[in-house]
Amino acid sequence: MSRSGQRADAIVMEWVVLVDLHDNPIGEMGKLEAHQKGALHRAISVFIFNQQGEMLLQRRAEHKYHSGGHWSNTCCSHPAPESRSRVLPTAGSGKK
């Protein structure tokens, strides 16, 4: 058990924002279900280049259900639906 009393190996349900072709939010769905159904949803892709124009790549873990073992852009994620997201203050947060 973790200090919060939750099991460390518990599966966390991640949600994504479903959108129409114009990026208007139309609902929410579990991330796994959205990927399995091919539902259009918001995603974030990060591309990092060095001064020589080379892009930093990542190799996705073999066990990932989506593109496991494949090379991909630097980082990918999904913005959380507003109804499910929280911003927690941290010590020293803010711009420098």
Residue 7 belongs to some domain of the structure? no
pLDDT on residue 96 = 41
pTM flag (> 0.85) = no
Report how many domains make up the chain: 1
Residue 21: give the domain boundaries. Answer: 15-80
Task: Flag whether 35 is in a domain.
Answer: yes
Does 10 map to a domain?
no
The answer to whether residue 90 sits within a structural domain is no
Task: Please check whether residue 26 lies inside any domain of the structure.
Answer: yes
DSSP for the chain? --TTSS-TTPPPPPEEEEE-TT--EEEEEEHHHHHHHT--B--EEE--B-TTSPBP-EE--TT-TTTTT-EE-SEEE-PPPGGG------TT-S--
pLDDT digits (tens, 9 = 90+) for 61-85: 888 877 888 888 888 889 988 866 5
Residue 65 lies in a domain: yes
- Within-domain flag for 96: no
5 inside domain? no
User: What's residue 8's pLDDT?
Assistant: 46
